[in-house]
Amino acid sequence: MHETQISRRRVSQSQRQSARRTAAIFLPHLRTLAEAAGDTPTADRLVSALGRHFDSISDHAAALASFERALSINEKLGDAAARSLSHHLNNIGRMHRLMGDLPGARAAYERAVQVCISVYGPDHPNTKTVEKNLAALGKSRTWADRILGRE
């Protein structure tokens, strides 16, 4: 959830190539496991892990598809999975932003903020992180000022 920490981490080209080679071996198995798990918490975690992997090798389109699938699974799980819902929405917003789809990013971040406030409360660090991600899109100067405590 800590996008500012994630974005600072740089992965070298050789690390990406190594990850791609490793993934070529394991991804088919992970996908099979995720499909076999159906719409369960296990499938949610597996598909989300796929998304994180694709993000780590800068395959943002595949990461977005994985995070959207994880969100779909998560929404079917109900209140028990509400905390994961905000993480998936934040990840979807990040993928849209990285792919240049700012309206898509804004929609995902706005929904993530709503979920975070209802699950964690307005002052929780996860809520603040998603609000900062939204403010970074340039939602409005007032919104950014509120988030940064400059009201």
Residues 6+ apart with CB under 8 A from 34: 43, 46, 47, 50
Q: Where are the alpha helices (DSSP H) in 37-100?
A: 41-56, 60-77, 82-98
Instruction: Give tens-digit pLDDT for 18-74.
Output: 766 776 677 766 766 667 667 778 788 888 988 998 898 889 999 999 999 999 998
Question: Band of the pLDDT at 150, cuts 50, 70, 90?
Answer: low
Residue 75 φ/ψ, nearest 5 degrees: -65, -30
List, in order of start, the domains of the chain with CATH numbers.
12-147 (1.25.40.10)
Is the model's pLDDT at 16 over the cut of 50? yes
Give CA–CA dist 115/123, Å, rounded: 13
The residue behind tokens 């190539």 is 17
